[in-house]
Structures are given as C-alpha cells and as structure tokens.
Amino acid sequence: MHEIEFRVPGHGLVEVLIDGVLLLDLVREAELPYARYEQLERAEEFAPEAAPLLAGDYSEFLGRWTGWPTRHYLGEPVEVAYNQDDGETMLLGCTCGIAECWALLARIELTDTEVRWSGFRNNHRDWDLSATLGPFVFSRHQYETALTLTAADPAQKPSETDPPTQAGQ
C-alpha cells in the first residue's frame, strides 16, 4: 500500500506526494519517453527552435479550490476538464492558469478501507501512462487524515487528539 501526503506550502498550492515523491515528478518521469518522441516528431513544425518538451508540464491546484473540506480528491471533481470522462478527476492542471486547459486525469475509487488512483492520462494526448504510472492504492484512513491537513480554516483541521473520521460522515 502506498502513502499519500497533501501539503500546502506558502504559495497556497496543494502539493501531492506519493511515498515521499511529488506527483508532478512521478508524472514527468512517466511522460518523458512520450514527450521526447513527440518533440522529435514535431521538430520541423517548430524549426529553428526546438519543439516544447511537454513532460510533466502541469501545475498543482490552489488549496482553497481542492483542499479540505472539498471532496475533489475523493472522486467528486469541483471542475471538469475538456475531454474528461465520467469517473475521472483532474489531479494536475495547466501551468497557464486555466486548470482544465491541459490536465492530468485519473480515476479515484473509494472503498470503506482504500482509495485507488488509476487510469492516468492527459486530456489532450493518447500517451499510455498506465504502463508506468500507478495504480496507487492508499489506506482510506491515512488518505483522509492527510487530506484534512489541507484545510484553510484551522477549525476544520483535526487536533492531535481527534480520531480521524470518514469524509462526508
């Protein structure tokens, strides 16, 4: 089982870490072979400059948009991207500031004991990321405890003595 961490550093964006590694770095590594191939394929289109290398070209989301108590990271997206299928959630958005412009999508499935992220894909590319990215399965208890720490309002954060609760209960 994997461990997840949701961090909101000073810039207000929710950083997602899986087993201590930024999701953005995991995605960049998974997309790199596809991006390099596309860069070579499109070289003439951008000559004399190099074609952009699009691997991991995403941004995290603002905590006030996706942090606790929203259910965005619980498979109930607060916004939908272009070409997003039912059951998918944007995990990372575009660096241009319009999140749904260029998005990393995945399925978030919940059981009583687990949260599963699978089916990773970019909403504009047909890159098969499932071969190198995920699936990730987390303890639901650990996942929801980590997610509550993104609450902007300190009153919504659990105290050290509060037992974690299932979201939505």
**pLDDT at 125 exceeding the cut of 50:** yes
The domain ranges of the chain are 4-152
CA distances from 2 to 18, 29, 34, 61, 160 (A): 7, 18, 26, 22, 23
53-103 pLDDT, tens digit each: 788 889 888 888 888 999 999 999 888 888 888 899 999 988 887 777 889
Average model confidence (pLDDT) across the chain: 85
The span from the CA of 159 to the CA of 106, in Å, is 31
Residue 23, SS3 per DSSP: helix
Share of the chain above pLDDT 90, in %: 47
